[in-house]
Every structure is written in structure tokens, then in C-alpha cells.
Chain A
Amino acid sequence: MRLLLIEDDPMLGAGLKRALQQGGYTVDLATTGTEGAAGLRTGSYAAAILDLILPEMDGIEVIRDIRAAGIDTPVIMLTAQGHPDQRVEGLDAGVDDYMAKPFDLNELLARVRAVIRRKSGLLGDRVIIGDIEFDQAFRTAKRGNISIPLTAKELKVLQFFIHARGRFVSKGEVESAIYDNNITIDSNTVEVTVYALRKKFGSDFILTGRGLGYMIPK
């Protein structure tokens, strides 16, 4: 899944990008408010992490801008332990959650999962599809008590399908969700990964429709 990180501090930005990538996300980094708002307006992100004080446009202005444009991407705002009024202002403007600096990485990852889950209508980290139980926090899959090993790429694709459950997604959507902008995409990666997932979970685990793409049924 693709996240947008909007943070102007190079040290925090680089560290956080890396941590989120480690957490299984594809991460784009924007360093100004304008750049961040433009990125969010594309609507291609599962969630965004937005710093409050940014050059050109501050975090509150960014959130107002994208909410006014009808973008409902979940946004977690990074702040100092500020005045409650300020959080109220952010929440009212359309922020989904807050993290105060300095934050715990695991908590941030949990909150990112939570806002994405909420958006896709899921209740918890564990998803049961047929006889497969998938845990998004630990990124493991089990059939009964037998765990099914997954590669990083398979995990990313599976997560994306789960969040788009009940809806067909095109190959292009899958590609943009699992690749960083600067990496050249191997044209048949998606097919190869889907093939591998079907082998592990059963051929009807992922449906295909001509001209429609892929889907995990609800």
C-alpha cells in the first residue's frame, strides 16, 4: 500500500520513510505543504502522515485544501504536544488521528493500520478470508494452525487486495501501490505474484475478470 509522508525535516523524513517501508508500505516523501497537497490530490494513497509546521503551506492548510477537494485519504498529523484547541482545529479540519513528537514507531504503524482499516471498513488487524486468517500487524497468514510463509512482495499485493476487497483492481493500480516512484517496474511482476498467491491459498482465492482486473471476493 502506498503512503505519503509530508515532513520537511530531512532527518525525521528519511528515518520515518525508511521505518514505514520496513513496515511493508510503499512511501513517497514530500517536503513542503504544497508538494504534499498536490500529491494527496492525486488520490492514489492509502494514507498520509502530515507534519503540522511545513514550508509554504502548514499542515492545517493542507488538510483543508484536500478535504475541500473531496479527497478522503486518511491523514495522521504529527504535532508537538500542543494545545488541545489546536488538535480540535485539526480534527475539525479533517485530520483522522494525531501523533505527538517524539512518537513510538510501533504506535505510529498501528495507527496507520487503524486509519487505513477504518477507511476500508475492517474492524481489526485480523482478516478471515475463507479458511485463511491473515494478520496485518504481524503480516502472517495461517490456514488452521499452519502458517503460510509469504514474501514481501506477496504481502504487499495481498494487503492491497484485502483493502480493496469486493472490488476489481487493475494491474496498474496494483503496480502503483507496491512500487516507489523511482523504481522501474518489471512488467509481469503482478501476474507472477498473483500466480504465487493462488498457489498458496487456492485458485479461486483471487478472481480475475477480463478488462476488470483482480479481486478478492467479500
Chain B
Amino acid sequence: MTDTSRLWSSPLNVRLFWRVLALIVSITLSVGAMAYWTAREQVDSVYDIQLITGANVLRALMGDELAAIEQGQVNETLSIDDKPLLSAEDRLGFDAYADWRMFRIWKQGRLVVASDTGPRLGAQACPVQGYCDAKDRNSDIWRIYSLNLKEAHITVQVGERQSIRADLVRKVAMRLAGATIWVLPAGFLLIWLSLNDGLRSLGRLIRQISKRGAQDLRRISTDIWPADLAPLVMAIDGLLSRVETAKQQERTFIERAAHQLRTPLAALKVQAQMLGLVKTNAERQELMISLLQSVDRTVNLSEQLLTLARLEASASSTGLSDLYVEGRHALALLAPLATQKGVSLALDGEAETVAADSASIQLVLSNLLSNALTFAPPGSEIRVVIERDEPWILLSVNDEGPGLNPEDRERVFERFQRGASSAPTGAGLGLAIAQQAARTIGGHISLDARSDGRAGLSASIRLISA
């Protein structure tokens, strides 16, 4: 079932794709800008050199005339019509240039010769030798190179419309962009496909897990997965193995519980069937007694189960009790059985009030005492001790039985768990009830070797002094 109300972040592949896309676009843009500027510089430098070449060509064309001027043979009033500096063919050759090119020749600050295509510039722009930019009346920018021939007081200017260079650079850029426009979408498609391909294993993993039944706890690492998925696969396998362990424990528990619940019933049934088979009254009488004992045992078992259920459901208890009074009461209840078994009872300590209700303390004490009595050998003593251990009051039940291995000390509190040599009639609920009752009064029963150096087990609980 898909929870549609839940917010999911966008899919991994989409997010990755957008990031890669942004990266590629920004790389392309910066490479493009660099290419544009480089192309522009290249074009500028090539064209600038051409301007110099142009100016030098003009000077060479004017070579003879200039030599005459240097020798003072030429009159000072050179007119355009005379064209003394440049022969008619030379001019034609130069004029053959497109309208984006021009040349002008100045003598002593006066325009002597100019190409027909020249810009309408004002006074002599750019009189200094070198490059300069000038704006004509149509607001076109011209790139002009001025060559000063100082001896002849002549300035040769060769110029180009700046826009022609921009056109060229634009054309180069457009060609580059054209190629990129085809390459980019193809690249994006490839990236998208490979991203999805990379995520396909993830999809396979998801399908494998989602189609599994609740009973199927086989490891998924048996398949071959990409190394990137290893941590995920391992984590899932770890989880599966923990689930399997928990399931196994649960099954063992249920089997144990069923066994302990059905055994008294099996005894009841056998005894009841036997009643119909025996022939003498004495045998019948004997069977009736054991049948009634079995009924009592079954009733006791259901009462224990109900007590456990009630303890689980109850919140922490409130109330005050005197441990000495409670201990005396619990021991009084045990006394007849203890006497029967030849076990003596003792209570050490004095009145101590604790924050716990009397019923819970009785449950703890009676179950611990009955457990102690089961293991107490005849002639031994069971001792209940109340000690102050600020801010706690320590209550303990000590027996002189065989004790318990440290590894079994937590296990015996589990339900339906019986110690290796426990009372064979019990269902293994007594200590579980005691522990549950201890929890409702904020305590925890721990089992240890006796602290007074004697053989036997000491079951103790710490309670808050009131």
C-alpha cells in the first residue's frame, strides 16, 4: 500500500539528472564565453595586423611621391583632384575594398586623399600614430590605424568598421553554438539513460524485497549486486537475520508455553479416562484424588496467567507498605508447607516503609519464597532480609539450595521457562510473575550468590524508601 499523504522528496535519478544538467550547462557556458573572447582577441589581432599592412602598402604605393616631397620638389597645395600622392590605379585598387574599409591620407592636418567608402568623420580623428576607435556620424565605430610619416608631414590612416569584426566573431560563435546545440541534447539523453541504468539495480533490489512474503527470510546477498549497493544489501540481510532470530525465539516461546499449558490437561484427560477403566473402588478413589490434584493445578495455572495479564495491564502502583509487616505475612503463609518439608524460616531487619502497594509486594515475596522452598533441602533455612542502603531499601530472600549458574539467572525469569531441576509441577510462571510485580513497583529482581558466604541463592529487589 502506498501512503499518498506522505511527502517524498523527488526521485534520486531526477535530482541527479538536474544536478548534472546544471553542471554541464555552466561548464558549456563558461567554455563558450572563453571561446568567444579568445576568438575575438584573435580576430582583433589578425585584423589589426592587416591594418598595419594596409597602411604600409599605402606608404609603399606613395614611395616616389614621398621621395620627391623630401627633396622639396612638390608644391604645397596638393588637391584631391591632382592626386599626386597616389596614382589613379592605386586608388582604384584600394577602392575595390568593400564599404567596410577605408583609407585617408592627411598632409599637415589637411585631408588630401580618402577612399570613397570612408566614414564621415569630423576633423582628423586619431592623429597620433597607433590604433584608435572613432565614431562616425552614423554612430558606426571604426577601428583606425594611423601611420605618421614625420618627414613628409603626412599621416596615413587605414580603418575598418568595428562591426565587421563583431560579425565575424558572431559567425564563429554561431558555428560553435550550432555544434553544441546538437551535442548537448544527445549528451543529456545519454546521461539520463546511464543514470537510470545505474539505478536499475536499485529497482531490482526493491522488486526483490517487495515481492517477498512475510515467511521468506532468505538472505538477499546470495544474488550478485553492484558494490555500491553492498552496504544496503548487508543492512537488509542483517535486519532479516535479526527478524529470523526474533521469530525463532517467539516460536520456541510459543511451543514451550503450549507444552506447559497442555501438560496438565493431558494429565487430566488420562486420569479421567482411567476412571472408566479401573475396576476396584480403591483404585477409583486413588484416581479421584489425583484427578482433583490435577484440576487444582490447572486452576492454579490459569490464575497465574491471569495474574500475569493483570500485572502487564496495570500501570505502576501507588501506595505505602511496611516491608517487615509484609515479610511476616508472606512467611506465615509459607510456614505450613515449610514445616512439612523440614525447612525453617527467618526474618531479619526492622520496619521500613517503601513506596509500593502491599499486593505487589506479596506477589514478589510469595513467588520468591515458593521458589526458594522448592530448592531448599530439608533442615535448611530460608531467610528474608530487610536492609537500609540509602536511599534504597533492600529486600532479599535467601535459601540454602543448589544456587543457579550465572548464565541461567536472567533466563529463569522468562515465562514457561523452568530451571533444569525446578519443581516439576510448576509451569515456569512464578518467577515471571514476581519480576512483573517488581516492575509495577519500580523494582527489578536480581539473582545472585548469597553475600553472607553461605551456599544458596539470594533473590533481591531494591525499593525506594518512603
What is A's interface to B at a CB cutoff of 8 Å?
Answer: 8-12, 14-16, 18-19, 22, 31, 51-53, 55-56, 78-83, 85-86, 100-106
Contacts and interface: CB of A to CB of B under 8 A. Distances in A.
A55 B264 CA distance: 17
Given A104-B269, A105-B277, 11 more contacts: A9-B263, A9-B424, A10-B424, A11-B264, A11-B271, A11-B425, A12-B263, A15-B290, A83-B254, A85-B251, A101-B259
B255 A22 contact: no
Interface string B242-271: 000000000100111011111111111111
Contact of A83 (B251, B262, B266): B251
B261 A80 contact: yes
A105 B273 contact: yes
A116 B420 CA distance: 32
B155 interface: no
B73 interface: no
Given A19-B277, A101-B259, A104-B273, A12 B266 contact: yes
A16 B251 CA distance: 28
B263 to A, nearest CB: 5
Nearest to B256: A53
A15 B256 contact: no
A105 B267 contact: no
A31 B424 contact: yes
A104 B425 CA distance: 22
Given A9-B425, A11-B425, A101-B265, A80 B273 contact: no
Contacts of B263: 9, 12, 51, 101
Nearest to A105: B273
Contacts of A16: 267, 270
22 contacts: A9-B425, A10-B424, A10-B425, A11-B293, A11-B297, A12-B267, A15-B267, A15-B270, A16-B270, A19-B270, A22-B277, A51-B263, A52-B259, A53-B259, A78-B266, A79-B259, A80-B261, A85-B251, A101-B259, A104-B273, A105-B273, A105-B277
Contact of A105 (B251, B261, B269, B424): B269
A9 B260 CA distance: 10
A37 to B, nearest CB: 15
B274 A80 contact: no
Interface residues of B, number: 32
Nearest to A20: B270
A85 B265 CA distance: 24
Closest 3 CB pairs of A and B: A80-B258, A12-B267, A101-B262
B290 A14 contact: yes
B418 to A, nearest CB: 7
B97 to A, nearest CB: 100
Nearest to A10: B424
Given A10-B425, A11-B425, A105 B278 contact: no
B277 A103 contact: no
Nearest to A53: B259
Nearest to A78: B266
A186 B261 CA distance: 43
Contacts of A104: 269, 273
Nearest to B416: A53
Nearest to B273: A105
Contacts of A102: 262, 265-266, 268-270
Contacts of B424: 8-10, 31, 55
B269 A11 contact: no
Nearest to A8: B424
